[in-house]
Amino acid sequence: MNRLLAALLAATSPLSAAQAKSAPTAEAPPGLTLEQALDLASATAPSLDAAGAGVDAARAAQAAAGLRPNPILTVEAENVAGTGLYSDTKSLEATTSLALPLELGGKRSARLAIAAAQRDRAFIEQAVARVDLRFAVTRAYAEAAASERRLANARDQLRIAGEGLHAAHVRLRAGRASPMEVQRAELARINAQAALVRMERSAETARFILAQRIGQAIPGALDAGWFDRIGTAPGPLQPLELTETLALAAANADLAASSAQVRLARTQRIPDLTVGAGVRRLEATNDSAALFSLSLPLPFLNGGKAAVGQALAEQRRAEAQRRATAQEVAQAIAQAQAEAANAAIGAETATGPALAAAEEAARIARIGYREGKFSQLDLLDAERTLTETKAAAIEALLAYHNARAQLERLTARAPDQGDDR
Protein backbone atom coordinates (compact mmCIF):
# COMPACT_ATOMS: atom_id res chain seq x y z
CA MET A 1 0.00 0.00 0.00
CA ASN A 2 1.58 3.30 -1.09
CA ARG A 3 2.22 6.30 1.08
CA LEU A 4 -0.75 8.26 -0.21
CA LEU A 5 -3.12 5.45 0.69
CA ALA A 6 -1.57 5.08 4.13
CA ALA A 7 -1.87 8.81 4.79
CA LEU A 8 -5.48 8.89 3.65
CA LEU A 9 -6.29 5.88 5.79
CA ALA A 10 -4.69 7.45 8.84
CA ALA A 11 -6.71 10.59 8.34
CA THR A 12 -10.07 8.91 7.82
CA SER A 13 -9.92 5.87 10.09
CA PRO A 14 -10.83 7.74 13.31
CA LEU A 15 -13.83 9.27 11.59
CA SER A 16 -14.98 5.92 10.25
CA ALA A 17 -14.53 4.32 13.65
CA ALA A 18 -16.61 7.06 15.25
CA GLN A 19 -19.31 6.63 12.61
CA ALA A 20 -19.31 2.89 13.16
CA LYS A 21 -19.81 3.39 16.88
CA SER A 22 -22.61 5.92 16.47
CA ALA A 23 -24.46 4.11 13.70
CA PRO A 24 -27.35 2.03 15.01
CA THR A 25 -27.10 -1.67 14.31
CA ALA A 26 -30.09 -3.88 13.70
CA GLU A 27 -29.48 -7.38 14.95
CA ALA A 28 -30.94 -10.15 12.87
CA PRO A 29 -33.16 -12.54 14.78
CA PRO A 30 -31.13 -15.56 15.89
CA GLY A 31 -31.71 -18.89 14.24
CA LEU A 32 -30.76 -22.09 15.99
CA THR A 33 -29.14 -21.01 19.24
CA LEU A 34 -26.42 -22.91 21.06
CA GLU A 35 -28.72 -23.75 23.96
CA GLN A 36 -31.31 -25.14 21.57
CA ALA A 37 -28.63 -27.23 19.91
CA LEU A 38 -27.52 -28.53 23.30
CA ASP A 39 -31.08 -29.47 24.24
CA LEU A 40 -31.60 -31.31 20.96
CA ALA A 41 -28.29 -33.13 21.29
CA SER A 42 -29.04 -34.16 24.88
CA ALA A 43 -32.33 -35.70 23.80
CA THR A 44 -30.74 -38.01 21.23
CA ALA A 45 -27.12 -38.51 22.27
CA PRO A 46 -26.14 -42.20 22.43
CA SER A 47 -23.37 -41.35 24.89
CA LEU A 48 -25.93 -40.13 27.43
CA ASP A 49 -28.02 -43.26 26.91
CA ALA A 50 -24.95 -45.39 27.53
CA ALA A 51 -24.03 -43.41 30.64
CA GLY A 52 -27.60 -43.72 31.94
CA ALA A 53 -27.49 -47.47 31.42
CA GLY A 54 -24.21 -47.54 33.34
CA VAL A 55 -25.88 -45.78 36.27
CA ASP A 56 -28.76 -48.25 36.22
CA ALA A 57 -26.29 -51.13 36.19
CA ALA A 58 -24.38 -49.64 39.13
CA ARG A 59 -27.59 -49.25 41.11
CA ALA A 60 -28.54 -52.86 40.39
CA ALA A 61 -25.05 -53.98 41.39
CA GLN A 62 -25.37 -52.08 44.65
CA ALA A 63 -28.69 -53.77 45.38
CA ALA A 64 -27.17 -57.15 44.58
CA ALA A 65 -24.17 -56.49 46.83
CA GLY A 66 -26.45 -56.09 49.82
CA LEU A 67 -28.14 -59.44 49.39
CA ARG A 68 -27.26 -62.25 51.77
CA PRO A 69 -26.47 -65.83 50.59
CA ASN A 70 -29.43 -68.01 49.74
CA PRO A 71 -30.27 -70.98 51.99
CA ILE A 72 -29.51 -74.42 50.59
CA LEU A 73 -32.15 -77.17 50.50
CA THR A 74 -30.72 -80.70 50.33
CA VAL A 75 -32.67 -83.94 49.80
CA GLU A 76 -30.77 -87.22 50.09
CA ALA A 77 -31.90 -90.84 49.64
CA GLU A 78 -29.66 -93.61 50.98
CA ASN A 79 -29.77 -97.44 50.97
CA VAL A 80 -31.78 -97.82 47.77
CA ALA A 81 -31.29 -99.67 44.49
CA GLY A 82 -28.67 -101.94 46.00
CA THR A 83 -28.51 -105.67 46.58
CA GLY A 84 -29.88 -107.94 49.21
CA LEU A 85 -31.58 -105.99 51.95
CA TYR A 86 -31.03 -102.78 49.96
CA SER A 87 -32.55 -103.96 46.69
CA ASP A 88 -35.74 -102.01 47.24
CA THR A 89 -36.83 -99.17 49.53
CA LYS A 90 -37.29 -101.21 52.71
CA SER A 91 -34.01 -99.86 54.10
CA LEU A 92 -34.47 -96.38 52.68
CA GLU A 93 -33.10 -93.51 54.70
CA ALA A 94 -34.40 -90.16 53.37
CA THR A 95 -32.88 -86.93 54.66
CA THR A 96 -34.17 -83.43 54.07
CA SER A 97 -32.06 -80.57 55.38
CA LEU A 98 -31.81 -76.82 55.09
CA ALA A 99 -28.41 -75.12 55.33
CA LEU A 100 -27.78 -71.39 55.78
CA PRO A 101 -24.38 -69.83 54.97
CA LEU A 102 -23.29 -67.20 57.48
CA GLU A 103 -20.86 -64.55 56.20
CA LEU A 104 -18.31 -63.52 58.79
CA GLY A 105 -15.78 -60.74 58.98
CA GLY A 106 -17.82 -57.96 57.38
CA LYS A 107 -17.93 -59.32 53.84
CA ARG A 108 -21.34 -57.85 53.11
CA SER A 109 -20.42 -54.34 54.26
CA ALA A 110 -17.19 -54.54 52.22
CA ARG A 111 -19.17 -55.50 49.12
CA LEU A 112 -21.55 -52.62 49.75
CA ALA A 113 -18.62 -50.21 50.03
CA ILE A 114 -17.27 -51.37 46.66
CA ALA A 115 -20.71 -51.09 45.07
CA ALA A 116 -21.19 -47.60 46.50
CA ALA A 117 -17.85 -46.45 45.07
CA GLN A 118 -18.71 -47.95 41.69
CA ARG A 119 -22.10 -46.26 41.80
CA ASP A 120 -20.45 -42.92 42.48
CA ARG A 121 -18.07 -43.63 39.61
CA ALA A 122 -21.02 -44.30 37.32
CA PHE A 123 -22.63 -40.98 38.26
CA ILE A 124 -19.35 -39.21 37.57
CA GLU A 125 -19.08 -40.92 34.19
CA GLN A 126 -22.61 -39.77 33.45
CA ALA A 127 -21.62 -36.20 34.33
CA VAL A 128 -18.50 -36.53 32.17
CA ALA A 129 -20.67 -37.70 29.28
CA ARG A 130 -22.84 -34.60 29.64
CA VAL A 131 -19.83 -32.29 29.81
CA ASP A 132 -18.16 -33.98 26.85
CA LEU A 133 -21.37 -33.71 24.86
CA ARG A 134 -21.65 -30.00 25.64
CA PHE A 135 -18.02 -29.53 24.65
CA ALA A 136 -18.46 -31.40 21.37
CA VAL A 137 -21.70 -29.61 20.45
CA THR A 138 -20.23 -26.21 21.32
CA ARG A 139 -17.19 -26.86 19.13
CA ALA A 140 -19.37 -28.11 16.29
CA TYR A 141 -21.66 -25.09 16.65
CA ALA A 142 -18.71 -22.68 16.71
CA GLU A 143 -17.18 -24.34 13.65
CA ALA A 144 -20.51 -24.16 11.79
CA ALA A 145 -20.91 -20.49 12.73
CA ALA A 146 -17.34 -19.79 11.63
CA SER A 147 -17.98 -21.57 8.33
CA GLU A 148 -21.00 -19.33 7.77
CA ARG A 149 -18.76 -16.30 8.30
CA ARG A 150 -16.11 -17.69 5.97
CA LEU A 151 -18.78 -18.30 3.36
CA ALA A 152 -20.14 -14.77 3.72
CA ASN A 153 -16.61 -13.41 3.46
CA ALA A 154 -16.00 -15.45 0.30
CA ARG A 155 -19.23 -14.13 -1.24
CA ASP A 156 -18.19 -10.58 -0.43
CA GLN A 157 -14.81 -11.15 -2.00
CA LEU A 158 -16.40 -12.54 -5.16
CA ARG A 159 -18.71 -9.54 -5.34
CA ILE A 160 -15.82 -7.14 -4.79
CA ALA A 161 -13.72 -8.97 -7.37
CA GLY A 162 -16.58 -8.67 -9.86
CA GLU A 163 -16.83 -4.95 -9.18
CA GLY A 164 -13.07 -4.63 -9.61
CA LEU A 165 -13.25 -6.43 -12.95
CA HIS A 166 -16.05 -4.13 -14.07
CA ALA A 167 -14.02 -1.09 -13.02
CA ALA A 168 -11.00 -2.40 -14.91
CA HIS A 169 -13.09 -2.76 -18.09
CA VAL A 170 -14.43 0.79 -17.67
CA ARG A 171 -10.90 2.15 -17.22
CA LEU A 172 -9.71 0.17 -20.25
CA ARG A 173 -12.46 1.58 -22.45
CA ALA A 174 -11.62 5.07 -21.18
CA GLY A 175 -7.99 4.54 -22.08
CA ARG A 176 -6.84 4.86 -18.48
CA ALA A 177 -5.80 1.25 -17.99
CA SER A 178 -3.95 -1.44 -19.86
CA PRO A 179 -5.31 -4.90 -20.75
CA MET A 180 -2.99 -6.26 -18.06
CA GLU A 181 -5.19 -4.67 -15.41
CA VAL A 182 -8.22 -6.46 -16.82
CA GLN A 183 -6.34 -9.76 -16.74
CA ARG A 184 -5.33 -9.20 -13.11
CA ALA A 185 -8.91 -8.37 -12.20
CA GLU A 186 -10.14 -11.47 -14.03
CA LEU A 187 -7.62 -13.61 -12.16
CA ALA A 188 -8.77 -12.13 -8.85
CA ARG A 189 -12.37 -12.96 -9.75
CA ILE A 190 -11.48 -16.54 -10.71
CA ASN A 191 -9.61 -17.04 -7.43
CA ALA A 192 -12.54 -15.56 -5.50
CA GLN A 193 -14.93 -17.93 -7.29
CA ALA A 194 -12.76 -20.95 -6.41
CA ALA A 195 -12.53 -19.79 -2.79
CA LEU A 196 -16.32 -19.49 -2.66
CA VAL A 197 -16.75 -23.08 -3.86
CA ARG A 198 -14.36 -24.29 -1.16
CA MET A 199 -16.13 -22.31 1.53
CA GLU A 200 -19.53 -23.61 0.41
CA ARG A 201 -18.29 -27.17 0.72
CA SER A 202 -16.74 -26.50 4.13
CA ALA A 203 -19.90 -24.81 5.39
CA GLU A 204 -22.02 -27.73 4.19
CA THR A 205 -19.74 -30.18 5.97
CA ALA A 206 -19.76 -28.17 9.20
CA ARG A 207 -23.56 -27.96 9.20
CA PHE A 208 -23.81 -31.69 8.50
CA ILE A 209 -21.58 -32.48 11.49
CA LEU A 210 -23.65 -30.21 13.73
CA ALA A 211 -26.87 -31.77 12.40
CA GLN A 212 -25.52 -35.21 13.29
CA ARG A 213 -24.80 -33.99 16.80
CA ILE A 214 -28.29 -32.59 17.38
CA GLY A 215 -30.08 -35.44 15.60
CA GLN A 216 -31.92 -33.37 13.03
CA ALA A 217 -31.39 -31.01 10.11
CA ILE A 218 -30.57 -27.40 10.94
CA PRO A 219 -33.68 -25.39 10.02
CA GLY A 220 -31.99 -22.07 9.23
CA ALA A 221 -29.08 -19.87 10.10
CA LEU A 222 -27.21 -20.04 13.37
CA ASP A 223 -27.11 -17.40 16.08
CA ALA A 224 -24.64 -14.92 14.60
CA GLY A 225 -24.79 -12.76 17.71
CA TRP A 226 -23.43 -15.59 19.86
CA PHE A 227 -20.40 -16.01 17.62
CA ASP A 228 -19.64 -12.27 17.84
CA ARG A 229 -20.00 -12.01 21.60
CA ILE A 230 -16.77 -11.95 23.55
CA GLY A 231 -17.03 -12.32 27.30
CA THR A 232 -14.84 -10.57 29.78
CA ALA A 233 -11.29 -11.76 29.47
CA PRO A 234 -10.30 -13.89 32.49
CA GLY A 235 -8.07 -12.15 34.98
CA PRO A 236 -5.00 -13.62 36.63
CA LEU A 237 -4.98 -17.36 37.07
CA GLN A 238 -7.19 -18.31 39.97
CA PRO A 239 -6.56 -21.39 42.13
CA LEU A 240 -9.28 -23.99 41.86
CA GLU A 241 -10.39 -26.61 44.34
CA LEU A 242 -9.34 -29.57 42.25
CA THR A 243 -11.45 -32.05 44.21
CA GLU A 244 -14.52 -30.35 42.76
CA THR A 245 -13.53 -31.22 39.20
CA LEU A 246 -14.81 -34.29 37.44
CA ALA A 247 -11.37 -35.73 36.77
CA LEU A 248 -10.38 -35.63 40.44
CA ALA A 249 -13.78 -36.92 41.55
CA ALA A 250 -13.34 -39.90 39.22
CA ALA A 251 -9.86 -40.56 40.60
CA ASN A 252 -11.21 -40.33 44.15
CA ALA A 253 -13.97 -42.81 43.33
CA ASP A 254 -11.42 -45.23 41.89
CA LEU A 255 -9.32 -44.89 45.03
CA ALA A 256 -12.36 -45.50 47.23
CA ALA A 257 -13.22 -48.60 45.23
CA SER A 258 -9.68 -49.95 45.52
CA SER A 259 -9.65 -49.31 49.27
CA ALA A 260 -12.94 -51.15 49.63
CA GLN A 261 -11.47 -53.99 47.57
CA VAL A 262 -8.62 -54.27 50.06
CA ARG A 263 -11.13 -54.50 52.85
CA LEU A 264 -13.06 -57.20 51.00
CA ALA A 265 -9.89 -59.19 50.31
CA ARG A 266 -9.07 -59.16 54.01
CA THR A 267 -12.54 -60.30 54.97
CA GLN A 268 -12.21 -63.20 52.52
CA ARG A 269 -9.46 -64.63 54.73
CA ILE A 270 -12.07 -65.24 57.45
CA PRO A 271 -13.91 -68.52 56.70
CA ASP A 272 -17.69 -68.49 56.53
CA LEU A 273 -19.87 -70.87 58.53
CA THR A 274 -22.64 -72.95 57.10
CA VAL A 275 -25.21 -74.18 59.60
CA GLY A 276 -27.92 -76.64 58.74
CA ALA A 277 -30.80 -78.59 60.21
CA GLY A 278 -32.92 -81.37 58.82
CA VAL A 279 -34.93 -84.50 59.37
CA ARG A 280 -34.11 -88.11 58.46
CA ARG A 281 -36.73 -90.79 57.96
CA LEU A 282 -35.79 -94.49 58.33
CA GLU A 283 -38.10 -96.64 56.23
CA ALA A 284 -37.16 -99.91 58.00
CA THR A 285 -38.41 -98.79 61.39
CA ASN A 286 -40.72 -96.01 60.22
CA ASP A 287 -38.91 -93.62 62.56
CA SER A 288 -37.71 -90.07 62.08
CA ALA A 289 -34.72 -88.26 63.56
CA ALA A 290 -33.47 -84.73 63.53
CA LEU A 291 -29.99 -83.81 62.40
CA PHE A 292 -27.84 -80.72 62.64
CA SER A 293 -24.73 -79.75 60.68
CA LEU A 294 -21.96 -77.21 60.89
CA SER A 295 -19.33 -76.78 58.18
CA LEU A 296 -16.26 -74.56 58.14
CA PRO A 297 -13.65 -74.31 55.33
CA LEU A 298 -10.06 -74.90 56.39
CA PRO A 299 -7.84 -72.25 54.75
CA PHE A 300 -4.74 -74.42 54.56
CA LEU A 301 -4.08 -74.23 50.80
CA ASN A 302 -5.43 -70.76 50.07
CA GLY A 303 -5.39 -68.36 52.98
CA GLY A 304 -6.17 -65.28 50.85
CA LYS A 305 -2.79 -63.62 51.39
CA ALA A 306 -2.12 -63.31 47.66
CA ALA A 307 -5.50 -61.68 47.06
CA VAL A 308 -4.80 -59.13 49.79
CA GLY A 309 -1.42 -58.37 48.25
CA GLN A 310 -3.01 -57.83 44.85
CA ALA A 311 -5.66 -55.52 46.31
CA LEU A 312 -3.02 -53.49 48.16
CA ALA A 313 -1.03 -53.09 44.94
CA GLU A 314 -4.16 -51.90 43.13
CA GLN A 315 -4.79 -49.43 45.94
CA ARG A 316 -1.26 -48.03 45.61
CA ARG A 317 -1.73 -47.70 41.89
CA ALA A 318 -5.04 -45.85 42.37
CA GLU A 319 -3.40 -43.49 44.87
CA ALA A 320 -0.51 -42.78 42.49
CA GLN A 321 -2.94 -42.25 39.64
CA ARG A 322 -4.91 -39.81 41.75
CA ARG A 323 -1.77 -37.75 42.44
CA ALA A 324 -0.86 -37.81 38.75
CA THR A 325 -4.40 -36.76 37.81
CA ALA A 326 -4.24 -33.85 40.27
CA GLN A 327 -1.05 -32.59 38.63
CA GLU A 328 -2.41 -33.03 35.12
CA VAL A 329 -5.70 -31.31 35.92
CA ALA A 330 -3.96 -28.36 37.59
CA GLN A 331 -1.67 -27.90 34.60
CA ALA A 332 -4.47 -28.30 32.08
CA ILE A 333 -6.70 -25.77 33.83
CA ALA A 334 -3.89 -23.24 34.13
CA GLN A 335 -3.12 -23.63 30.44
CA ALA A 336 -6.81 -23.40 29.50
CA GLN A 337 -7.21 -20.23 31.58
CA ALA A 338 -4.24 -18.65 29.82
CA GLU A 339 -5.48 -19.72 26.39
CA ALA A 340 -8.97 -18.38 27.08
CA ALA A 341 -7.57 -15.04 28.22
CA ASN A 342 -5.25 -14.77 25.22
CA ALA A 343 -8.02 -15.81 22.86
CA ALA A 344 -10.34 -13.14 24.27
CA ILE A 345 -7.70 -10.45 23.77
CA GLY A 346 -6.92 -11.73 20.29
CA ALA A 347 -10.59 -11.79 19.30
CA GLU A 348 -11.18 -8.26 20.60
CA THR A 349 -8.19 -6.98 18.66
CA ALA A 350 -8.97 -8.85 15.45
CA THR A 351 -12.64 -7.84 15.39
CA GLY A 352 -12.02 -4.28 16.51
CA PRO A 353 -9.34 -1.81 15.37
CA ALA A 354 -7.59 -4.16 12.95
CA LEU A 355 -10.75 -5.07 11.06
CA ALA A 356 -12.02 -1.47 11.01
CA ALA A 357 -8.70 -0.24 9.61
CA ALA A 358 -8.61 -2.91 6.90
CA GLU A 359 -12.20 -2.18 5.85
CA GLU A 360 -11.52 1.54 5.65
CA ALA A 361 -8.33 0.98 3.67
CA ALA A 362 -10.17 -1.22 1.16
CA ARG A 363 -13.01 1.31 0.83
CA ILE A 364 -10.60 4.13 0.13
CA ALA A 365 -8.64 2.01 -2.35
CA ARG A 366 -11.80 1.16 -4.30
CA ILE A 367 -12.81 4.80 -4.56
CA GLY A 368 -9.30 5.90 -5.45
CA TYR A 369 -8.95 3.19 -8.10
CA ARG A 370 -12.21 4.14 -9.80
CA GLU A 371 -11.14 7.78 -9.83
CA GLY A 372 -7.69 6.94 -11.10
CA LYS A 373 -5.86 8.08 -7.97
CA PHE A 374 -4.53 4.66 -6.97
CA SER A 375 -3.10 1.86 -9.04
CA GLN A 376 -4.64 -1.55 -9.39
CA LEU A 377 -1.83 -3.01 -7.30
CA ASP A 378 -2.83 -0.69 -4.46
CA LEU A 379 -6.42 -1.93 -4.76
CA LEU A 380 -5.43 -5.60 -4.85
CA ASP A 381 -3.15 -5.11 -1.88
CA ALA A 382 -5.91 -3.43 0.13
CA GLU A 383 -8.43 -6.14 -0.80
CA ARG A 384 -6.00 -8.90 0.09
CA THR A 385 -5.31 -7.26 3.42
CA LEU A 386 -9.04 -6.99 4.12
CA THR A 387 -9.60 -10.64 3.22
CA GLU A 388 -6.78 -11.79 5.46
CA THR A 389 -7.96 -9.56 8.31
CA LYS A 390 -11.54 -10.86 8.07
CA ALA A 391 -10.27 -14.42 7.99
CA ALA A 392 -8.05 -13.74 11.00
CA ALA A 393 -11.02 -12.23 12.86
CA ILE A 394 -13.13 -15.32 12.16
CA GLU A 395 -10.37 -17.66 13.32
CA ALA A 396 -9.77 -15.52 16.41
CA LEU A 397 -13.45 -15.75 17.37
CA LEU A 398 -13.43 -19.49 16.73
CA ALA A 399 -10.31 -19.90 18.86
CA TYR A 400 -11.96 -17.88 21.64
CA HIS A 401 -15.11 -20.02 21.71
CA ASN A 402 -13.10 -23.24 21.59
CA ALA A 403 -10.86 -22.05 24.42
CA ARG A 404 -13.86 -21.09 26.54
CA ALA A 405 -15.49 -24.47 25.87
CA GLN A 406 -12.31 -26.29 26.87
CA LEU A 407 -12.01 -24.28 30.08
CA GLU A 408 -15.64 -24.98 30.99
CA ARG A 409 -15.07 -28.66 30.32
CA LEU A 410 -12.02 -28.86 32.57
CA THR A 411 -13.60 -26.88 35.42
CA ALA A 412 -16.99 -28.61 35.36
CA ARG A 413 -18.01 -29.51 38.90
CA ALA A 414 -18.55 -33.08 39.95
CA PRO A 415 -22.09 -34.09 40.97
CA ASP A 416 -22.92 -33.87 44.65
CA GLN A 417 -22.42 -37.33 46.10
CA GLY A 418 -25.06 -36.63 48.71
CA ASP A 419 -27.97 -36.11 46.36
CA ASP A 420 -30.39 -38.81 45.30
CA ARG A 421 -29.80 -38.17 41.61
- We report the CATH number of the domain holding residue 256 as 1.20.1600.10
pLDDT in tens, 26-40: 444 557 899 999 999
**Model pLDDT, residue 261:** 92
Q: To the nearest whole number, what is the mean pLDDT of the chain? A: 83
In sequence order, the β-bridge partners of residue 97 are 74, 278
**Model pLDDT, residue 314:** 93
> How far apart (Å, rounded) are the C-alpha atoms in residues 282 and 279?
10
Nearest by Cα to 318 from 248, 263, 410, 264: 248
In a domain, 293, yes or no: no
pLDDT in tens, 57-84: 999 999 999 999 999 999 888 888 777 7
Gyration radius from the chain CA atoms: 38
The residue type found at 391 is A
Nearest by Cα to 137 from 247, 211, 200, 229: 211
Ramachandran angles phi, psi of 233, nearest 5°: -65, 135
pLDDT in tens, 81-120: 777 777 777 778 888 999 999 988 888 999 999 999 999 9
pLDDT bucket at 224, cuts 50 / 70 / 90: confident
In a domain, 416, yes or no: no
> How far apart (Å, rounded) are the C-alpha atoms in residues 249 and 115?
16
**Model pLDDT, residue 61:** 93
Please, are residues 105 and 378 in contact by the beta-carbon 8 Å criterion? no
Torsion (CA) 206, 208, 209, 210 in degrees, nearest 10? 90
pLDDT at 311 over 50: yes
In a domain, 380, yes or no: yes
Q: Which DSSP string do the residues of 23-91 spell out, in sequence order?
A: S---PPPP-B-HHHHHHHHHHH-HHHHHHHHHHHHHHHHHHHHTPPPPPEEEEEEES-S-SGGGSSSTT
pLDDT at 176 over 60: yes
**Model pLDDT, residue 234:** 55
Long-range contacts of 261-264 (CB under 8 A, 24+ apart): 261/114, 261/311, 261/314, 261/315, 262/308, 262/311, 262/312, 262/314, 262/315, 263/106, 263/110, 263/113, 264/107, 264/110, 264/111, 264/113, 264/114, 264/311
**Model pLDDT, residue 339:** 87
**Model pLDDT, residue 12:** 40
In a domain, 153, yes or no: yes
**Model pLDDT, residue 220:** 80
**Model pLDDT, residue 144:** 94
pLDDT in tens, 323-374: 999 999 988 888 888 888 888 888 888 888 878 888 888 888 878 877 777 7
In a domain, 134, yes or no: yes
Mean pLDDT is highest, among 193-197, 228-232, 349-353, for 193-197
Query: What's the total number of domains in the chain?
Result: 1
Taking the model in full, what pTM does it have? 0.77
In a domain, 419, yes or no: no
Nearest by Cα to 276 from 95, 108, 106: 95
pLDDT at 210 over 90: yes
* Domain extent at residue 228: 34-68+103-269+304-410
pLDDT bucket at 317, cuts 50 / 70 / 90: very high
With a pLDDT cut of 70, the percent of the chain lying above it is 88
Mean pLDDT is highest, among 33-42, 232-241, 292-301, for 33-42
In a domain, 163, yes or no: yes
pLDDT at 138 over 60: yes
**Model pLDDT, residue 6:** 40
CA 204 to chain centre: 23
pLDDT bucket at 417, cuts 50 / 70 / 90: low
Please, are residues 410 and 339 in contact by the beta-carbon 8 Å criterion? no
In a domain, 340, yes or no: yes
